[in-house]
């Protein structure tokens, strides 16, 4: 898919106020600082469509972008950011879970994980929660540029093993990406194209 237009539509903290249109929607979620906003910019060829930051906790709202006037891409706040207060953390969690529970337009959630790290309970538990709630998701490994090919392969294999040792009988679809060198860009966009064509 070639992205010919990417427009910011709105930000909010309430799933009920998200765009009413029935366009298919793809949401990017994961720990703070994992690279959600950077990946969105890479996929859409825009430097600053989604706001990025070296400091975790940059994205605090549900952000809708309209792509090629035909589908929505959603940048979500990161979970697991230790330095936000307990109250705002709870509020965060609530509107994120509300979003996944209630957003009928959601076709697929992309759960981003930093490929440098071992599986973290916060991520695997979130995937379990998605599974239990029947919410389709795929995994996106980020920051692949930070590892040499051998280490990259080793980490992805370790992740698969960990998931298959846990509750998963099958590895969810997954993608290896880098926002820095655009690794995985075509794979992710083609995946979205194929799903959109089946809808």
Kindly list the residues in this chain that would bind ligand GTP in the complex (CB under 6 A): 32-38, 52-54, 56-59, 77-78, 142-143, 145-146, 178-180
121 binds, among Mg ion, ligand GTP, none (CB under 5 to 8 A by kind): none
124 binds Mg ion (CB under 5 A): no
Alpha-carbon distance 175 to 184, whole Å? Answer: 6
Choose among Mg ion, ligand GTP, none what residue 34 binds, the Cβ cut-off being 5 to 8 Å by kind. Answer: ligand GTP
Q: Are 106 and 27 in contact (CB under 8 A)?
A: yes
Q: Is 143 left (phi over 0), alpha (psi -120 to 50) or beta?
A: left
- Based on CB atoms, which residue is closest to Mg ion, 37 or 155? 37
Q: Residue 37, interface with Mg ion (CB under 5 A)?
A: yes
Q: Which of 59, 124, 142, 177 binds Mg ion (CB under 5 A)?
A: 59
Using the structure block, give the residue that is written with the tokens 């950011």.
Answer: 81
31 Cβ contact partners less than 8 Å away, ≥ 6 residues apart? 56, 78, 79, 80, 81, 112, 113, 114, 120, 122, 123
Which partner from the list ligand GTP, Mg ion, none does 131 bind, CB cut-off 5 to 8 Å by kind?
none
Among the candidate windows 51-59, 85-93, 148-156, 182-190, which touches Mg ion by CB under 5 A? Answer: 51-59
Q: Is 60 in the site for Mg ion (CB under 5 A)?
A: no
Q: Least distance from C-beta 114 to ligand GTP, angstroms?
A: 9
Instruction: Pick what 38 binds: ligand GTP, Mg ion, none; C-beta below 5 to 8 Å, kind-dependent.
Output: ligand GTP
Pairing of strands 106-114, 174-176: unpaired
182-187 long-range Cβ contacts below 8 angstroms, 24+ apart: 182/42, 183/144, 183/145, 184/140, 184/144, 185/42, 185/43
Q: 37 vs 178, which CB is nearer to Mg ion? A: 37
């Amino acid at each position: 898919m070639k992205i010919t237009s990417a427009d910011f539509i709105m930000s909010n903290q309430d799933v009920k106020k998200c765009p009413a249109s029935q366009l298919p929607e793809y949401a990017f979620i994961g720990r703070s600082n994992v690279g959600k906003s950077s990946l969105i910019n890479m996929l859409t060829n825009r430097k600053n469509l989604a706001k990025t930051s070296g400091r975790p906790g940059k994205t605090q709202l549900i952000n809708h972008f309209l792509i090629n006037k035909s589908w929505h891409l959603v940048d979500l706040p990161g979970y697991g950011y230790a330095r936000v207060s307990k109250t705002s953390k709870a509020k965060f969690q609530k509107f994120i879970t509300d979003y996944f529970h209630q957003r009928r337009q959601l076709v697929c959630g992309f759960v981003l994980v930093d490929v440098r790290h071992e599986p973290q309970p916060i991520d695997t538990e979130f995937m379990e929660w998605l599974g239990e709630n029947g919410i389709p998701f795929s995994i996106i490994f980020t920051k692949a540029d930070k590892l040499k090919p051998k280490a990259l392969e080793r980490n992805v294999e370790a992740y698969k093993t960990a998931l298959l040792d846990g509750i998963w009988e099958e590895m969810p679809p997954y993608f290896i990406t880098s926002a820095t060198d655009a690794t995985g860009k075509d794979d992710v966009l083609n995946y979205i194209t194929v799903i959109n064509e089946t809808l």
